[in-house]
Amino acid sequence: MTPSSLADLQAKLPHVPQRFWKFVQPTGNGCWLWKSELNWKGYASFYLRTTKPVVRMMAYKYLYVQIFGQYPDSLQLDHLCRNRACVNPAHLELVTARENVRRGNSRVAENMTKTRCIRGHLLSGQNVSMRKSGWRRCKKCECERARRRRLAAAIRKGETDGQENQADQQT
Ligand SMILES: [Zn+2]
Ligand SMILES: [Zn+2]
């Protein structure tokens, strides 16, 4: 979906909070980047404040369900664009959990041969952090993600808590 279809979608879904759309940023490759918090796996997460208590949910899943309706628990949404921070419903596909695992495994294989991360940083030497699964990650990007997480947390609290920031920097 293009940025113009984003505006269409917004008009068709008046019950989706304005706050939500503010976090959606269309990019040149069609991905709609989530500008707010990402969870520890890098997926877009959103705090829905229209409910009490406030519910934390996956932003891409939330938007998908608003458009296509609820889906069975046995199914999962797979990012066809492989960009976990993307919330574009056109980039998501419902698959069985098993299929999702299979695709994940082939991604690990592909990841092993990658020489650069999606942002073009060199994936070698000091810049690689290796997961137990064999998944290689870009350290530069991980630092950037951690920085954004801290920023999002600070914004959510509506203040910058000096003590907590100090604690964060020590870890
Ligand atoms: Zn995408
Ligand atoms: Zn990188």
Residue-wise pLDDT tens digits, 77-119 = 999 998 999 999 999 999 998 888 888 888 888 888 888 988 8
Q: Do residues 138 and 127 make contact, with C-beta atoms less than 8 angstroms apart?
A: yes
Rounded-to-integer distance, Cα 171 and Cα 27, Å: 32
Q: Within this chain, do residues 121 and 106 fall inside the same structural domain, yes or no?
A: no
Own/partner pairs, 7-15, CB within 8 angstroms, 24+ separation: 9/67, 9/89, 13/66, 13/67, 15/66
Percent of the chain whose pLDDT exceeds 70: 90
- When pLDDT is averaged across residues 150-168 and rounded to a whole number, the result is 66
**Residue 20 within any structural domain of the chain:** yes
Structure tokens belonging to residue 163: 């003590």
**Residue 91 within any structural domain of the chain:** yes
Report pLDDT for 3.
61
Q: Within this chain, do residues 100 and 129 fall inside the same structural domain, yes or no?
A: no
Whether 166 shows a pLDDT value over 80: the answer reads: no
- When pLDDT is averaged across residues 27-37 and rounded to a whole number, the result is 93
Q: Within this chain, do residues 12 and 70 fall inside the same structural domain, yes or no?
A: yes
What is the average pLDDT value for the chain, to the nearest integer? 86
Rounded-to-integer distance, Cα 59 and Cα 47, Å: 9
- Assign 39 a pLDDT band (cuts: 50, 70, 90): very high
Domain membership of residue 135 as a residue range = 115-159
Q: Within this chain, do residues 133 and 149 fall inside the same structural domain, yes or no?
A: yes
Distance 85 CA to ligand 1 centre (A): 8
Ligand nearest to the CA of residue 92, numbered in listed order: 1
* Residue of 154, 161, 163 lying closest to 37 (CA atoms): 154
Q: Within this chain, do residues 11 and 47 fall inside the same structural domain, yes or no?
A: yes
Ligand nearest to the CA of residue 145, numbered in listed order: 2
